[in-house]
Chains A and B, each alone.
Chain A
């Protein structure tokens, strides 16, 4: 039987160290909604989402109360709309109409985000996918809950540079259309390389075509728990450090596994994966940067940070994979800037730059995330930053992502406030040197040599 010290440890993790199940995300396939008539397509989509996810929020709240574990978000991911809308949408405006339908469905079922307004264009864009990408600025400005992502490259296909060139403009347009809210629209748009089909975390979640009809994926978090565990072994060897992170990740993931199984059973929907990411929030103590500091750097961004992050990311995965047979999604450490107080402090102290963040993304689980940059940043510069990040993902056979927010009307030295879990961020400088000639080239970057494993 459980003893009192074990019970105390679990209760402390939840009460003091911000352990939570970050999200229960229901993946819903919309492939069977496809119709060549736009109105019929929208009505099919609305009906399917609102019937499949009718009990999602209530079930999440019930589990949370009975098990005494906070379940912060209940969310939905859908099949990339670039596929679903292909036969009905002739213009970007048609895709905006689907976004509005998704927004209404999200509101009806009570989820706080719905992901999948997406296009997978790793090798090239169909006309429909290009229209979807062109509709993103309006879709994100006119909806509240819809999240968008575009996968522009993979290790197997190379990188679609035409899509990257287009996205530089699209990100700026999205910023412009939501400038009254500090360009918040860009916080709901992620550009990926090697995007996973089963990621439960926003803004990049979508329900890939490799998935079944409906699935429950769960994302757990708990940077605060890891940090507290590491405080107890301060000054110890790397072996002790790694062992401590692994044990903690194991415990955290087991909670996610339990909640995922329970939710799947109660909703009558198959369980997909547990994503064991360390996802920080602006809450004090819920920071990945704080873990890096605890490992031994003065600030995130100081020399040694990439090594510390590599170690952390790897141990989190190693601890997690034993706790659940179905680990998936992104699984590792997220390093968003605005959502992590320790990262914000590091930027303000001058310890952390976009370039150092880029290096860190080589070993973290995602990429350049929630970084506010000056509103007058050139489209080609944004495309260049995306291309660099995609190249890291392609060559290293890992997921990488970019979520940059060019804040219209603001520059270096200003701070931008997104509110809630998205937090606030100091505007970071980007390189003043251009890359127009690179970005204006047409076509794609070929797949790397190590993709030929056939």
Chain B
């Protein structure tokens, strides 16, 4: 299964997770894991998702989530899990 990792970085505000989750639910993307932390006052969230039943291609999802992020003053990135595995796992 090809997983997609969504990272969200920015100033903490109410409803960040809600908005991202709503988008994912609307597009048939299953969330497998969520972790979050605050580093230096900045909200950092990582979601591991399964796009198998997604109604939207990953490239388009990346654009739409990035737009959604900028509306909230956040940086949202959608990246194939392989890039993290390549970099951090031997």
Contact = CB atoms under 8 A, between A and B. Distances in A.
Interface in B9-54: 9, 33, 35-37, 39, 44-46, 48
Contacts of A7: 5, 7, 46, 84
B79 A68 contact: yes
Contact of A254 (B33, B36, B78, B86): B86
Interface residues of B, number: 30
A11 B78 CA distance: 10
Contacts of A3: 35, 46
A257 B35 contact: no
A4 B83 contact: no
A6 B35 CA distance: 12
B33 A69 contact: no
B77 A258 contact: no
B58 A254 contact: no
A388 interface: no
B22 to A, nearest CB: 22
Interface stretch (A59-67, A313-321, A327-335, A398-406): A59-67
Interface in A56-101: 62, 65-69
Contacts of B62: 65-66, 68
A378 interface: no
A2 B7 CA distance: 12
A67 B82 contact: yes
Contacts of B78: 68
Most buried by B among A14, A15, A62, A68: A68
B48 A67 contact: no
A430 B32 CA distance: 62
B48 to A, nearest CB: 7
B70 interface: no
Most buried by A among B39, B46, B48, B81: B46
A1 interface: yes
Most buried by B among A10, A15, A255: A10
B48 A69 contact: no
Given A8-B7, A11-B7, A258 B75 contact: no
B5 A2 contact: yes
B82 to A, nearest CB: 6
B80 A2 contact: no
A430 to B, nearest CB: 43
Contact of B75 (A2, A15, A69): A15
A7 B76 CA distance: 12
5 contacts: A6-B84, A8-B39, A10-B84, A68-B80, A258-B86
Interface of B: 5, 7, 9, 33, 35-37, 39, 44-46, 48, 58-59, 62-63, 75, 77-89
Given A65-B58, A255-B87, 16 more contacts: A2-B46, A2-B84, A3-B46, A4-B44, A6-B87, A6-B88, A7-B84, A8-B39, A15-B75, A66-B58, A66-B59, A66-B62, A67-B79, A67-B80, A68-B79, A69-B83
